[in-house]
């Protein structure tokens, strides 16, 4: 047998289950697939790589990514590849690469400008063609965003969906699924998802179920109405007859930390009744999203231009509503600016709203309103609202996969901006280093399964997520004694340690800890 690469003497954890026993074996790679696994001392390879003492496992699958635009801007995906990620699930939280018609496309223009995307498209087929023409590093799978679908039909208005509207939305979803989307996602704290009813979502989820797709959701609340939101997910799943997945499950806000056991009880009762409910989580206790999520839902109606007009002219009304959730100055110490677009406001990055307002001689909300207007709403923020003990409990759930909740970024170029959440550079090594080796929250086999086989099961990714003869050669190799994240909130653009080699579709993208620059990623339709 003559093959391309022989991985010699590694300790294989194949990702097939959380109880799998590590075994020392060799792996042969030919073209884009695993040719054989076992004692391959007789094999002649173009290149043999000694991986003795290292863990050889499936490439990590990021169960929750947001790379649809960043990957088009810079396909190198260095932050993800450096931590062993070989496949991403995109199109989460109701926002996907397509469909983009009318108001849905208009709403994205500021993001495109920020990362210099010149191309425009409407459908997934058009987007996939652009992506494949440019080439990219990691495998790309996507859901269809409910926000895209709703905004393409009725824009960003707070209105009930008519029968005619629903027919148009179903048609867009159907086209998206035909073109390769793997399910439906919702973002129920973002416009326009925030205006949608459960019945609207059930109607679309039922259509996704016809394709054997999945329903994923950023729930209506991860804090004060957390339990009601979990109940809604289960109701949607049951009524639509669809598998459901809760994105970045959490208990946000100290007064809600005690709700976690009730969340687990509700989910387990649903699973016991045959409803398939899974979730994902990143290993940090701070979240990150757009700063304008602190605004009340009525502020978003009509799109960005109207939102900015309200920020300029209706500050008293906005203040009254925001103070219900952020009544104290100390609340703003936990909200940190992660990114702005303009050079003049770059000094704000890494500072809390509290610090920023003191530097400006303004109230916290004056600072919030002013920076949102000044930056055309394009302001990212990190919210320190979660609890470490709850994080550990979530990671232990047998149905919890691992995701970064992050877009791909590289260490130079158009995506190397701001002070983004370190999860985009360290999530998977952090699981292995902190929560396996240092704290013992998970066994090594449990962690590998959560990062590989479990995600492949949840999203029905064929021939990936497990090391098996004939499967695609997506492989990550790491040193279990050294692997750890180094990125933090003040220095996020830092590579992890202990990730030695990464192969995607049989091509080395990381060798001896160094990025190769190869772009072998594929769209997984």
pLDDT in tens, 436-455: 999 999 999 999 999 999 99
Phi, psi of 73 (to 5 degrees): -75, -35
Let me know: does 383 contact 286? Beta carbons within 8 Å: yes
Our CA dihedral for 204, 205, 206, 208, rounded to 10 degrees, sits at: 90
pTM of the predicted model over 0.75: yes
Q: What is the rounded CA–CA span in Å between residue 294 and residue 274?
A: 36
The predicted structure's pLDDT at residue 304 = 95
Q: Would you tell me how many other CB atoms lie within 10 Å of the CB of residue 285?
A: 14
Secondary structure class of 53 (helix, strand, coil): coil
Show the tokens assigned to 189: 């704290």
* pLDDT value of position 228: 98
β-sheet with 60-62: strand ranges across: 60-62, 85-90, 139-142
Mean pLDDT to the nearest integer, 393-409: 98
Q: How far apart are CA 296 and CA 298, in angstroms?
A: 6
Contacts of 186 (CB under 8 A, 6+ apart): 93, 94, 145, 146, 147, 193, 196, 201, 215, 216, 217, 218
- What does the DSSP 8-state code read for residue 302? T
Share of the chain above pLDDT 90, in %: 99
pLDDT (0 to 100) of residue 483: 98
- CA atoms of 310 and 328, how far apart (whole Å): 23
* Residues in a beta bridge with 14: none
User: Quick check: helix, strand or coil at residue 403?
Assistant: coil
Provide the 8-state DSSP code for 466.
S
The CA–CA distances, whole Å, from 367 to 3, 319, 347, 352 equal: 61, 12, 13, 11
User: What is the model's pLDDT at position 320?
Assistant: 97
- Asked if residues 499 and 483 have their Cβ atoms less than 8 Å apart, the reply is yes
Provide the residue count of the chain: 525
Question: What is the predicted pLDDT for the residue at 302?
Answer: 95
pLDDT tier at 2, thresholds 50, 70, 90 = confident
pLDDT digits (tens, 9 = 90+) for 148-191: 999 999 999 999 999 999 999 999 999 999 999 999 999 999 99
pLDDT surpasses 90 at 1: no
At CA 73, angle to CA 70 and CA 78, rounded to 5? 65
Q: Is 398 helix (H, G, I), strand (E, B) or coil?
A: coil
DSSP state letters, 411-455: SSSTT--S---THHHHHHHHIIIIIIIIT-SS-HHHHHHHHTHHH
Question: Is 487 in contact with 80 (CB distance < 8 Å)?
Answer: no
pLDDT at 122 over 70: yes
Q: Do the Cβ atoms of 57 and 467 come closer than 8 Å?
A: yes
What residue spans of 74-145 are helical by DSSP H? 78-81, 103-114, 124-134
State pLDDT tens for residues 132-150: 999 999 999 999 999 999 9
- What is the torsional sign of CA 459, 460, 464, 466? positive
State what percent of residues in the chain have pLDDT above 70.
Answer: 100
- CATH fold group of domain 62-285+385-425: TIM Barrel (3.20.20)
- Burial classification of residue 451, based on how many CB atoms lie within 10 Å of its CB (0-12 exposed, 13-18 middle, 19 or more buried): buried
Structure tokens at 289: 């999203």
Confidence at residue 128, expressed as pLDDT on a 0 to 100 scale: 98
The two tokens of residue 302 are 């009509």
Rounded to an integer, the average pLDDT of 402-426 is 97
Alpha helices, DSSP H only, in 18-77?
70-73
Q: How far apart are CA 212 and CA 230, in angstroms?
A: 22
CB neighbours (10 Å) of residue 221? 17
Q: CATH 3.20.20.140: which residues of the chain?
A: 62-285+385-425
The terminus-to-terminus CA distance of the chain in angstroms comes to: 32
Where does residue 320 rank: exposed (0-12), middle (13-18), buried (19+ CB within 10 A)? exposed
Mean pLDDT for 415-425 is: 97
Q: Report the pLDDT averaged over residues 53-75.
A: 98
What are the φ/ψ torsions at residue 490 (nearest 5 degrees)?
-95, -20
Q: What angle do CA 218, 271, 468 make, to 5 degrees?
A: 85
From the list 140, 243, 132, the residue with the least C-alpha distance to 185 is 243
323-365 pLDDT per residue, tens? 999 999 999 999 999 999 999 999 999 999 999 999 999 999 9
């Amino acid at each position: 047998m003559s093959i391309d690469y022989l991985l010699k003497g590694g300790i294989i954890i194949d990702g097939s289950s959380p109880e799998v026993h590590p075994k020392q074996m060799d792996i042969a790679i030919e073209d884009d697939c695993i040719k054989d696994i076992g004692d391959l001392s007789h094999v002649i390879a173009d290149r043999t790589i000694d991986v003795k003492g290292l863990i050889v496992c499936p490439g990590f699958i990021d169960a929750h990514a947001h790379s649809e635009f960043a990957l088009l801007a810079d396909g190198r995906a260095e932050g993800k590849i450096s931590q062993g990620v070989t496949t991403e699930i995109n199109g989460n939280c109701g926002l996907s690469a397509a469909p983009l018609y009318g108001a849905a496309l208009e709403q994205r223009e500021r993001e495109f400008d920020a990362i210099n995307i010149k191309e425009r498209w409407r459908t997934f087929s058009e987007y996939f063609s652009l992506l494949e023409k440019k080439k990219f590093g990691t495998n790309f799978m996507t859901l269809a965003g409910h926000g895209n679908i709703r905004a393409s039909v009725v824009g960003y208005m707070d209105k009930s969906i008519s029968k005619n509207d629903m027919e148009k939305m179903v048609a867009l979803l159907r086209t998206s699924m035909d073109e390769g989307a793997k399910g439906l996602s919702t973002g129920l704290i973002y416009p326009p998802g925030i205006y949608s009813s459960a019945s609207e979502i059930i109607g679309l989820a039922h259509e996704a179920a016809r394709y054997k797709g999945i329903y994923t959701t950023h729930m209506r609340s991860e804090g004060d109405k957390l339990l009601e939101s979990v109940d809604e997910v289960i109701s949607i799943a049951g009524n639509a007859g669809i598998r459901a997945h809760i994105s970045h499950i959490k208990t946000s806000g100290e007064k809600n930390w005690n709700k976690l056991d009730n969340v687990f009880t509700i989910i387990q009762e649903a699973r016991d009744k045959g409803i398939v409910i899974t979730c994902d989580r990143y290993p940090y206790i701070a979240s990150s999203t757009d700063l304008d999520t602190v605004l009340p839902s009525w502020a978003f109606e009509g799109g960005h231009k109207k939102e900015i007009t309200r920020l300029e002219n209706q500050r008293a009304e906005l203040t009254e509503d925001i103070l219900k959730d952020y009544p104290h100055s100390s609340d703003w110490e936990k909200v940190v600016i992660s990114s702005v677009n303009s050079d003049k406001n770059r000094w704000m990055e890494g500072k809390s709203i509290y610090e920023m307002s003191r530097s400006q001689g303004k109230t916290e909300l004056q600072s919030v309103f002013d920076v949102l207007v000044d930056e055309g709403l394009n302001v990212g923020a990190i919210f320190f609202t979660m609890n470490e003990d709850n994080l550990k409990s979530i990671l232990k759930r047998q149905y919890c996969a691992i995701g970064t909740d992050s877009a791909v970024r590289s260490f130079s170029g158009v995506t190397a901006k701001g002070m983004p959440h370190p999860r985009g550079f360290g999530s998977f090594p952090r699981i292995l280093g902190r929560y396996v080796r240092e704290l013992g929250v998970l066994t090594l086999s449990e962690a590998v399964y959560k990062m590989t086989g479990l995600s492949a099961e949840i999203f029905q990714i064929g021939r990936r997520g497990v090391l098996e003869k004939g499967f695609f050669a997506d492989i990550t190799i790491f040193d279990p004694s050294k692997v750890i994240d180094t990125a933090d909130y003040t220095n996020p653009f830092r590579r992890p340690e202990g990730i030695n080699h990464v192969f995607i579709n049989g091509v080395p993208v990381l060798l001896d800890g160094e990025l190769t620059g190869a772009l072998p990623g594929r769209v997984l339709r």
